[in-house]
């Protein structure tokens, strides 16, 4: 609580938004809502929970690779969308984006992170 006032300085937010770049195209909207909902209908289970052997209804359509305003990544439902439950989206995914690693194990005890050395040791082509 002590540091929270210095943390969110309005000026930083505005200077970021007005960095000389044109406004990014508006991606979230009615079209997104509709398409994302359809994706969750077709893929109803949280991907992260499923890997741990748990079935939880997905409520958030998440971008696997953060799109950062890139319309190609944003609309790539085939490769870049996954259904997550709110809990996974708000905890696991945030941690993953910060650290670049996926935390946790699947139901067989294997690390969920595809880049974990347990999972990559069988690819012998590493330097």
Binding to Zn ion by residue 112, rule CB under 5 A?
no
Cα–Cα distance, 83 to 34 (Å, whole number): 14
Q: Which one among 56, 81, 102, 113 touches Zn ion, defined by CB under 5 A? A: 56
The CB density around residue 62, as the number of other CB atoms within 10 Å, is 18
Three-state secondary-structure class, residue 110: coil
Binding to Zn ion by residue 74, rule CB under 5 A?
no
Q: Which of residues 32-51 bind Zn ion (CB under 5 A)?
A: 46, 48-49
Q: How far is the CB of 89 from Zn ion (least distance, A)?
A: 8
Q: Which one among 85, 93, 102, 112 touches Zn ion, defined by CB under 5 A? A: 85
| Residue 39: closest CA among 99, 79, 87, 2 | 79
Three-state secondary-structure class, residue 48: helix
Cβ neighbours for 29, distance < 8 A, ≥ 6 positions apart: none
Binding to Zn ion by residue 96, rule CB under 5 A?
no
Q: Which one among 61, 62, 82, 88 touches Zn ion, defined by CB under 5 A? A: 88
Binding site for Zn ion (CB under 5 A): 46, 48-49, 56, 85, 88
């Amino acid at each position: 609580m002590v540091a929270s006032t210095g943390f969110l300085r309005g000026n930083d937010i505005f200077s970021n938004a007005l960095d000389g770049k044109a406004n990014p195209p508006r991606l979230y909207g009615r079209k997104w809502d509709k398409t994302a909902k359809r994706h969750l209908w077709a893929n109803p289970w949280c991907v992260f929970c499923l890997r741990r052997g748990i079935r939880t209804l997905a409520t958030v359509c998440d971008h696997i690779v953060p799109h950062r305003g890139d319309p190609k990544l944003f609309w790539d439902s085939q490769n870049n969308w996954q259904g997550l439950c709110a809990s996974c989206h708000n905890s696991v995914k945030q941690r993953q984006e910060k650290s670049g690693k996926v935390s946790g194990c699947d139901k067989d005890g294997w690390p969920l992170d595809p880049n974990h050395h347990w999972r990559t040791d069988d690819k012998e082509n590493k330097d």
